[in-house]
């Protein structure tokens, strides 16, 4: 089974919409949630999530979006989960002070002018493990071990 990390932004956490979005994701993708933790992300964590965007002019806004408060990370498990999540979450664009989105990002969009992309998802089980270990260390290693032991 594939597993993906979903990082919910402080905006979505503050609105108490994480459970709602996770339920919607589970219904659409037939995944199950196996790990949830609140976290305060740092700039270095955001660099690990988006290494290809560190030099982008948008990187300061990405950093602000993820580090402005308490975020939440959830690990979901399901067959082909990465592709399903990419399709479901939709795209987010920000140009000239205007925000546009599709999918879940549009459904929960903050407004038409804020840089707020609601959630980040990993692109592979390997990336999920790298991020999980970086953010949660031994707790995450124990989760992976138990998933492997029970055939998840």
The per-residue pLDDT for range 16-56, each reduced to its tens digit, is: 999 999 999 999 999 999 889 999 999 999 999 999 999 99
Q: Give the phi and the psi of residue 62 in degrees, each rounded to 5.
A: -60, -45
* pLDDT on residue 1: 84
Q: Give CA–CA dist 39/145, Å, rounded.
A: 22
DSSP output for 14-59: HTT-HHHHHHHHHHHH--EEEEEEEE---HHHHHHH-GGGTTSTTH
Give the strand pairing for 119-121 and 32-39.
unpaired
* pLDDT on residue 149: 59
Domain count, the chain: 1
* pLDDT on residue 127: 94
* pLDDT on residue 53: 96
* pLDDT on residue 138: 82
CATH code, domain with 101: 3.30.70.141
Q: How deeply is 74 buried, as exposed, middle or buried, from its count of CB atoms within 10 A (0-12, 13-18, 19+)?
A: buried
Q: Can you tell me which residue has the tokens 């975020």?
A: 71
Domain span at residue 43 reads: 2-149
* pLDDT on residue 141: 82
Low-confidence stretches of the chain (pLDDT beneath 50): 151-152
């Amino acid at each position: 089974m594939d597993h993906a990390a979903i990082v919910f932004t402080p905006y979505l956490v503050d609105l108490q919409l994480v459970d709602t979005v996770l339920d919607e994701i589970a219904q659409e993708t037939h995944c199950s949630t196996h790990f949830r933790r609140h976290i305060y992300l740092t700039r270095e964590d955001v660099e690990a999530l988006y290494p290809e965007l560190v030099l982008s002019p948008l990187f300061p806004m990405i950093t602000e979006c993820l580090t402005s408060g308490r975020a939440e990370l959830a690990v979901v498990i399901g067959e082909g989960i990465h592709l399903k999540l990419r399709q479901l979450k939709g795209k987010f664009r920000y140009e000239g002070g205007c925000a546009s989105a599709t999918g879940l990002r549009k459904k929960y969009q903050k407004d038409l002018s804020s840089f707020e992309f609601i959630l980040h998802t990993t692109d592979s089980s390997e990336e999920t493990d790298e991020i999980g270990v970086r953010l949660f260390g031994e707790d995450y290693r124990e989760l992976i071990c138990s998933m492997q032991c029970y055939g998840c």
